[in-house]
C-alpha cells in the first residue's frame, strides 16, 4: 500500500514507496531535501512540517534534534518519519539543497586552447557497386586524406554508431579524434564539448566547456550522493571495502549523478550529453578510488597509500559516465592517500607551483588540503576539518541560499545581521557562522576557551545559546541562535586547519610573518571575512592584502586540464614534485592542535 505525498511549496506530488520515509518519497519525486548525515537522523537538516495526514510516531532522534515546540507544530525529520496515510508536507526553504552560490565560481585562467581531442569535418564518397569499402575503411581514409595522418576506428561501440550516423548525415560528418583514434562521429554542425568535474566529499561542481574556444558554457552543482553512505570519506571507504556490491553501489551513485549533471548542463545550452567528447575529473584520493572502483582498504590503514597515484585515462562508459560512446575520462594524478587530484588541480589553477615568493594555499572543505611553496619546494598536507563550515552539525547551519545569515556584527551589545538576498533570516551559512564566532569573541561573549558567557547568553534545550535573530525577526518563527555546541564544532574545525598551517610553517622553519601570499580556495573560503578568520585564529594575523580568495580552484584546474594538453602535463609534474607531510606524525601535533582550539 503506498500513500500519496504532496510536497509544498515545491509542488511535487506522488507515491511514497512502501515502507519508505518522507525522504525516500522526496528523492523519488525530485525534491532536493538536504540530508547531510545520509538519512540516519543525526544532522537535523531534513526537517519538514506535517500539514495534513498521519506519520509514524516521533522517534528518539527526532526528540533530540527538534524542540518540544517544533514537535508540537508538526515538525519532523523526513529521513525518519514514514507516512501512515496520504500527507501534505511543507518543506522549509532551509531544508532544500541547492547550488551554493560559490560552488562553481572560480578563477578564469587564460591558457592556449589545445585540448586532448581534435575535431574535423569530413565529406565521404558514399559506397557504390564499384566502391565496396567498409564504413570503417571509408571513414579512416577520408580523415587521413583530410588531415594527412593515418587514423583508426578501433572502438566497436563507435563503429556501431558510425554506420548509422554516416548514412543519416548523408556522408558529411564531424569526426572527433583522440590521438589517432576516432572516438565520435556526429553532425557537422554539432558542438564538441568537454566536461570538467570537481568531486568533493560533500559537493560536486561540473562544467561544460566548448572545446573549440575553451569557453565554459554551463556550470552545475550538486551534493555528493555518496553522503548517504557516510559523511566522511573513512565511513565510505569502510562501506566500499565490505564487498564488490557495496563498492559498485558507491561508484554508480557518483557516475549517475555526474551523468545527470552533464545532461542538465547540456540541456541548458541546447546540447546533448552525447556531444561531450572528453572529460576531466578531479577529487580527493578516496573519491578517486571509489569512482574507479579501485581497492580502498589500504587507504584507510597506515601508511595510507593510494592503489593508483598516476593519472588515469579510461573510457567514460567503463565508469558508467553517459557521454559520447567513445569518449575518455582523464583523472589527474594523486599525491598521497589523503592529498589527491583535486589538490593538484588547485595548485595548477592558482599558479602556486610557480610561486617565487613564500605562498600558502588552502582549499577549505570537509577535508582541507594546504600547500606551502617555499624556496621552490612544495609541501602539502591534509587535515580533517569536517563539514562544520558547510553548515553541517551547526544548529541553524544551512547552505549559502536566500535567508542565510552571511554577515554578523555586534556593536554596543546590538546584533546586526545581513542575509543573502536580504530575506528574513532562516539559518546561518559558513561565512555567517565564522563572523558570529569572531564577533562574539570581540564582544567578550565568548571567552578564550570558547565558552559562551554573560547576560546575553541564555539557556535552551540544555545548552547555552546566543540569539542572532529572535522569533519575531526570523523568517520561520524560530529564533536563530549560535549554541555552545556549535562553537565547539567550529573550534574543532578551525583548530584542524590552523594546526595544519603551523605544521607546514614549522617544517619549513619559518613563521607566519614570512608568508608573502595566502590563497584561500573553496566555496566556503570565497565569502569569508578574512578579518573574522584571523580573529578566531583560523588564519594567522597578516596584512589583508596578502590574502586572496579564489573560489573553486580545483574546478578551474580541472577545466584547464580539459582544454590544454600542456596543463595536463604540468599537473603531472606538480603531482611528482609535491612532498607530502603526514600531519599526525609531525612533532608536537597534539599540542599544536590543542593550542589552536583557543580563541586568543
Ligand atoms: Fe535526516 Fe540527517 S538526513 S537528520
The reply to whether 252 falls in a domain is: yes
Decide if 436 contacts 478 (C-beta within 8 A).
no
Q: How confident is the model at residue 97 (pLDDT cuts 50, 70, 90)?
A: low
Considering the domain architecture, whether residues 492 and 529 belong to the same structural domain is answered as: yes
DSSP state letters, 380-397: EEEE---SGGGTTTSTTB
Q: How far apart are CA 122 and CA 137, in angstroms?
A: 14
Do both 229 and 262 map to the same domain? yes
Whether residue 125 sits in one domain with residue 201: no
Cis before residue 543, ω within 30 degrees of 0? Answer: no
Mean pLDDT of 512-526: 91
- Over range 134-147, report the average pLDDT: 97
Which residue carries 548517504 as its cell?
228
Answer yes or no: is 598 within a domain: yes
What is the arithmetic mean of pLDDT over 330-348? 96
* 276 bridge partner residues: 193
Q: Average pLDDT, stretch 562-584?
A: 95
| 55 strand-pairing partners | 83
Could you tell me which residues come within 8 angstroms of residue 24 by beta carbon, excluding any fewer than 6 positions away?
A: 16, 17
Mutate-to-test residue for ligand 1 from 24, 31, 41, 92, highest number of ligand atoms within 8 A of CB: 41
36-82 tens-digit pLDDT: 777 888 878 899 999 889 999 999 999 988 888 889 989 999 999 99
Q: Write down the pTM of the prediction.
A: 0.83
pLDDT band (50, 70, 90) for residue 100: very low
* Cα–Cα dist 503/582, whole Å: 10
Residue 237: its H or E element? helix 233-240
Residues 377 and 516 placed together within one structural domain of the fold: yes
Q: How far is the CA of 225 from the centre of ligand 1 (A)?
A: 14
In a domain, 22, yes or no: yes
Domain contains 303: yes
Distances from the Cα of 291 to the Cα of 50, 125, 228, 295, 492, angstroms = 38, 43, 15, 11, 29
Whether 388 and 254 map to the same domain: the answer is no
Residue in 45, 62, 92, 94 to alter for ligand 1 test, most ligand atoms within 8 A of Cβ: 45
Same-domain status, 493 and 380: yes
Span from the CA of 154 to the centroid of ligand 1 (angstroms): 48
Integer Rg of the chain from CA: 26
In the reported structure, the alpha carbon of residue 77 is separated from the centroid of ligand 1 by a whole-number distance in angstroms of 6
Q: Which range among 104-108, 127-131, 199-203, 399-403 has the greatest average pLDDT?
A: 127-131
Sheet containing strand 427-428, edge to edge, reads: 414-419, 404-411, 427-428
H-assigned helices in 306-394 = 341-350
For 169, other C-beta atoms within 10 Å of its C-beta total 16
Ligand 1 pocket, CB under 6 A: 35-37, 39, 41-46, 77, 79
User: 98 pLDDT band (50/70/90 cuts)?
Assistant: low
Q: Could you tell me where the beta strands, DSSP code E, fall in 78-131?
A: 87-90, 118-123
Structure confidence at residue 102 as a pLDDT band (50, 70, 90): very low
**Sorting pLDDT into bands at 50, 70 and 90, what band is 235?**
confident
Mark whether 42 and 160 lie in a shared domain: no
Q: Read off the pLDDT of residues 282-327 as tens digits, 9 standing for 90 and up.
A: 999 999 999 999 999 999 998 899 999 999 999 999 999 999 999 9
For cell 560512446, name the residue: 325
| Ligand 1 mutation pick, 22, 43, 62, max ligand atoms within 8 A of CB | 43
Domain enclosing residue 242, as ranges: 193-331
Partners of 65 in beta bridges? none
38 in any annotated domain: yes
**Per the structure, how many domains does the chain have?**
4
Ligand 1 centroid distance, CA of 39 (Å): 4
- Is the predicted pLDDT of residue 157 greater than 90, yes or no? yes
Average pLDDT value for residue range 213-240: 86
Which pLDDT score is estimated for 65?
87
Are residues 200 and 65 part of one domain? Answer: no
Half-sphere CA count of 576, side-chain side, radius 13 A: 8
404 against 93, higher pLDDT: 404
Work out the average pLDDT over 482-500: 94
User: Are residues 494 and 406 part of one domain?
Assistant: yes
Give pLDDT, residue 311: 97
Stated length of the chain: 600
Give the atom of ligand 1 at the shortest distance from the alpha carbon of 44: 4
Amino acid at each position: 500500500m503506498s500513500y500519496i505525498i504532496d510536497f509544498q511549496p515545491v509542488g511535487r506530488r506522488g507515491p511514497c514507496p512502501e515502507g519508505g520515509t518522507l525522504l525516500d518519497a522526496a528523492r523519488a519525486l525530485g525534491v532536493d531535501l538536504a540530508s547531510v548525515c545520509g538519512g540516519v537522523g543525526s544532522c537535523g537538516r531534513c526537517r519538514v512540517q506535517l500539514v495534513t495526514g498521519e506519520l509514524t510516531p516521533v522517534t528518539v532522534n527526532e526528540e533530540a534534534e527538534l524542540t518540544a515546540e517544533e514537535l508540537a507544530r508538526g515538525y519532523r525529520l523526513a529521513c525518519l518519519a514514514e507516512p501512515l496515510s496520504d500527507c501534505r508536507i511543507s518543506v522549509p526553504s532551509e531544508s532544500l539543497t541547492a547550488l551554493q552560490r560559490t560552488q562553481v565560481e572560480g578563477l578564469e585562467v587564460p591558457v592556449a586552447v589545445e585540448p586532448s581531442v581534435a575535431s574535423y569535418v569530413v565529406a565521404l564518397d558514399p559506397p557504390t557497386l564499384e566502391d565496396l569499402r567498409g564504413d570503417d575503411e571509408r571513414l579512416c581514409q577520408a580523415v587521413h586524406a583530410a588531415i594527412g595522418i593515418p587514423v583508426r576506428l578501433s572502438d566497436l561501440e563507435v563503429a556501431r554508431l558510425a554506420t548509422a550516423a554516416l548514412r543519416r548525415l548523408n556522408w558529411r560528418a564531424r569526426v572527433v579524434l583522440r590521438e589517432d583514434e576516432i572516438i565520435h562521429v556526429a553532425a557537422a554542425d554539432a558542438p564538441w564539448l568537454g566536461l570538467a568535474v570537481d568531486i568533493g566529499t560533500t559537493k560536486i561542481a561540473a562544467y561544460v566547456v566548448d572545446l573549440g574556444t575553451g569557453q565554459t558554457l554551463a556550470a552545475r552543482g550538486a551534493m555528493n550522493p555518496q553522503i548517504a553512505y557516510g559523511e566522511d570519506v573513512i565511513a565510505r571507504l569502510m562501506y566500499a571495502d565490505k564487498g564488490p556490491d557495496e563498492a559498485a553501489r558507491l561508484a554508480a551513485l557518483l557516475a549517475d549523478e555526474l551523468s545527470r549533471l552533464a545532461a542538465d548542463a547540456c540541456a541548458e545550452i541546447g546540447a546533448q550529453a552525447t556531444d561531450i567528447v572528453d572529460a576531466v575529473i578531479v577529487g580527493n584520493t578516496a573519491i578517486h578510488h571509489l569512482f574507479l572502483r579501485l581497492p580502498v582498504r589500504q587507504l584507510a590503514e597506515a601508511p595510507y597509500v593510494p592503489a593508483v597515484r598516476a593519472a588515469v585515462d579510461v573510457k567514460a562508459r567503463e565508469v558508467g559516465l553517459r557521454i559520447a560512446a567513445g569518449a575518455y575520462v582523464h583523472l589527474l594524478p594523486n599525491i598521497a592517500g589523503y592529498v589527491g587530484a583535486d589538490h593538484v588541480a588547485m595548485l595548477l589553477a592558482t599558479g602556486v607551483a610557480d610561486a617565487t615568493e613564500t605562498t600558502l594555499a588552502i582549499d577549505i572543505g570537509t577535508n582541507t588540503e594546504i600547500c606551502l611553496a617555499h624556496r621552490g619546494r612544495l609541501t602539502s598536507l591534509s587535515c580533517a576539518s569536517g563539514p562544520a563550515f558547510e553548515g553541517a552539525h551547526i544548529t541553524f547551519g544551512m547552505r549559502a541560499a536566500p535567508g542565510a545569515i552571511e554577515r554578523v556584527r555586534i556593536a554596543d551589545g546590538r546584533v546586526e545581521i545581513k542575509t543573502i538576498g536580504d530575506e528574513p533570516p532562516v539559518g546561518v551559512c559558513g561565512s555567517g557562522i565564522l563572523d558570529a564566532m569572531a564577533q562574539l569573541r570581540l564582544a567578550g561573549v565568548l571567552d578564550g576557551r570558547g565558552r559562551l558567557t554573560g547576560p546575553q547568553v541564555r539557556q535552551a534545550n540544555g545548552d547555552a545559546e546566543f540569539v542572532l535573530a529572535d522569533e519575531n525577526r526570523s523568517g520561520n518563527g524560530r529564533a536563530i541562535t549560535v549554541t555552545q555546541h556549535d562553537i565547539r564544532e567550529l573550534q574543532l574545525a578551525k583548530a584542524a586547519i590552523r594546526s595544519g598551517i603551523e605544521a607546514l610553517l614549522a617544517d619549513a622553519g619559518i613563521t607566519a610573518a614570512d608568508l608573502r601570499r595566502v590563497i584561500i580556495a573553496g566555496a566556503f573560503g570565497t565569502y569569508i571575512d578574512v578579518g573574522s578568520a584571523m580573529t578566531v585564529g583560523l588564519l594567522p594575523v597578516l596584512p589583508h592584502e596578502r590574502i586572496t580568495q579564489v573560489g573553486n580552484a580545483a574546478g578551474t584546474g580541472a577545466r584547464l586540464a580539459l582544454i590544454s594538453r600542456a596543463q595536463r602535463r604540468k599537473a603531472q609534474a606538480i603531482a611528482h614534485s609535491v612532498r607530502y607531510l603526514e600531519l599526525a606524525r609531525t612533532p608536537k601535533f597534539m599540542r599544536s592542535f590543542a593550542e589552536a582550539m583557543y580563541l586568543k
